[in-house]
């Protein structure tokens, strides 16, 4: 297949993802409303899982079929920083003050747990690159710890979401504004049926996952045709390809006036990438420990992701209401700047 056809295929698959993600986000929002589980928990469980499955498929296939664990690691770590870039882009798009002031406690908890998992993954890269003691093990003990932290994160998110009073941490203006918007959506969703929304979610998720995995395979072929390094391509091109569902679903959630759903989905996707996908990559790698076979440059990407997540947490805790300008916020510019700096550093070192 020629380069032109590969790029056209990439564009066509991206269009499918963008369309399906709109149905995915709306179905998830209706499920959150009908079940009463809350947007943050549904964002972490349903949206984050559905939009992160392409990373899982790409990672396992890169390890087991293609034999390029660096692509799998680069995809997971690169998706983290791209997901955090999405939050910066959402902040630019949102017109009701800084977007991170609109969320409650649950997304903060998810962000904090995300830092723990990213730090564990970065430590695994450095530990296994610095010693050969564990290189012949089938599975790294760090991977097992990360899987346990992942399930703990899911449970803690559920508990925090259920114990949080609606909009308890918002000021009066925000509470009135969001309460009015939620009431409007409640009226809109009143006639929606839960089972139809579940079916719609599953169908949309199938389209998103299928198209995104095909998109990632197309990106892999482009990498070969263009002669790009595996670590850089995994961190940039494949990370963009497999994170496109998060981008599309997050902006779809914003259009539904559900910022907490969008933020929770993006942060939950990072937790899924680190805690579950990298564990599965380690399981799929049969030539020893997965972490011993990948480049140290991924530890740099992990460090950038931790810095970006800290920016998000600080913005959520500080809760500054005013935007310094109509078209930007400080945290959005910092997130975009860190993403660009991290990408250039990986390109130079990878």
Residue 176 lies in a domain: no
Domain encompassing residue 244: 3-167+194-349
CA nearest to 46, candidates 66, 27, 68: 27
Residue 318 lies in a domain: yes
Between CA 212 and CA 246 the distance in angstroms is 11
pLDDT digit string (tens) for 245-271?
A: 888 888 888 888 888 888 999 999 999
Neighbours of 247 (CB within 10 A): 22
Chain centroid offset of residue 1 CA? 31
Residue 96 lies in a domain: yes
Residue 78 is part of a domain; what is its CATH number? 1.20.1420.30
Q: Residue 176 above 80 pLDDT?
A: no
Residue 178 lies in a domain: no
Residue 49 lies in a domain: yes
Residue with structure tokens 């995300």? 114
Q: Which residue has the higher pLDDT, 185 or 191?
A: 191
Q: Where are the alpha helices (DSSP H) in the chain?
A: 3-35, 39-42, 48-61, 69-93, 105-130, 141-163, 172-189, 194-226, 230-233, 239-255, 259-272, 278-284, 297-318, 330-349
Confidence class for position 167, pLDDT limits 50, 70, 90: very low
CA angle at residue 237 from 231 to 238, to 5 degrees?
A: 75
Sign of CA dihedral 210, 233, 86, 262: positive
Between CA 280 and CA 143 the distance in angstroms is 9
pLDDT digit string (tens) for 105-152?
A: 889 999 999 999 999 999 999 988 867 666 667 788 999 999 999 999
Q: How many Cα atoms occupy the beta-carbon half-sphere of 11 within 13 Å? A: 6
Q: Residue 159 above 90 pLDDT?
A: no
Please tell me the total count of domains within the chain.
1
Residue 177 lies in a domain: no
pTM of the full structure: 0.83
- pLDDT value of residue 164: 65
> 114: exposed, middle or buried (C-beta count within 10 Å: 0-12, 13-18, 19+)?
buried
C-beta of residue 44 within 8 angstroms of C-beta of residue 108? no
C-beta of residue 209 within 8 angstroms of C-beta of residue 197? no
- pLDDT value of residue 323: 64
Residue 184 lies in a domain: no
Q: Which residue has the higher pLDDT, 296 or 132?
A: 296
Between CA 12 and CA 237 the distance in angstroms is 16
Ordered DSSP codes for 42-83: HIIIIIHHHHHHHHHHHHHHIIIII--HHHHHHHHHHHHHHH
Residue 174 lies in a domain: no
Percentage of the residues of the chain whose pLDDT score is greater than 90: 27
Q: Residue 74 above 60 pLDDT?
A: yes
pLDDT digit string (tens) for 211-246?
A: 877 876 776 677 677 666 555 655 566 667 777 888
């Amino acid at each position: 297949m020629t380069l032109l056809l590969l790029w056209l295929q990439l564009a066509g698959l991206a269009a499918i993802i963008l369309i399906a993600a709109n149905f995915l986000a709306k179905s998830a929002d209706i499920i959150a409303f009908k079940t009463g589980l809350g947007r943050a928990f549904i964002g972490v469980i349903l949206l984050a899982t559905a939009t992160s499955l392409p990373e899982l498929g790409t990672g396992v296939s890169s390890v087991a079929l293609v034999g390029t664990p660096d692509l799998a690691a680069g995809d997971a770590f690169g998706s983290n920083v791209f997901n955090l870039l999405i939050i910066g882009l959402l902040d630019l798009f949102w017109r009701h003050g800084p977007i991170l002031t609109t969320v409650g406690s649950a997304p903060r908890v998810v962000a904090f747990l995300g830092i723990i998992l990213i730090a564990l993954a970065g430590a695994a890269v450095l530990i296994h690159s610095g010693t050969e003691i564990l290189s012949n093990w089938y599975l790294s003990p760090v991977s097992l710890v990360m899987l346990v932290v992942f399930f703990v994160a899911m449970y803690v998110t559920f508990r925090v979401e259920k114990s949080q009073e609606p909009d308890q941490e918002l000021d009066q203006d925000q509470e009135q504004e969001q309460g009015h918007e939620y009431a409007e959506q409640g009226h809109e969703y009143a006639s929606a049926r839960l089972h139809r929304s579940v079916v719609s979610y599953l169908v949309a998720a199938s389209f998103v996952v299928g198209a995104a995995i095909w998109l990632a395979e197309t990106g892999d072929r482009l990498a070969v045709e263009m002669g790009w390094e595996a670590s850089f391509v995994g961190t940039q091109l494949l990370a963009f390809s497999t994170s496109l569902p998060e981008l599309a679903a997050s902006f779809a959630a914003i259009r539904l006036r559900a910022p907490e759903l969008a933020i929770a989905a993006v942060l939950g996707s990072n937790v899924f990438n680190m805690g579950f996908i990298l564990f599965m990559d380690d399981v799929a790698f049969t030539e020893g420990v997965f972490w011993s076979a990948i480049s140290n440059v991924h530890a740099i990407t992990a460090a950038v992701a931790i810095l970006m997540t800290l920016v998000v947490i600080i913005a959520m805790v500080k809760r500054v209401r005013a935007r310094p300008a109509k078209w930007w916020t400080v945290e959005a510019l910092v997130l975009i700047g860190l993403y660009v700096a991290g990408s250039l550093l990986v390109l130079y070192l990878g």
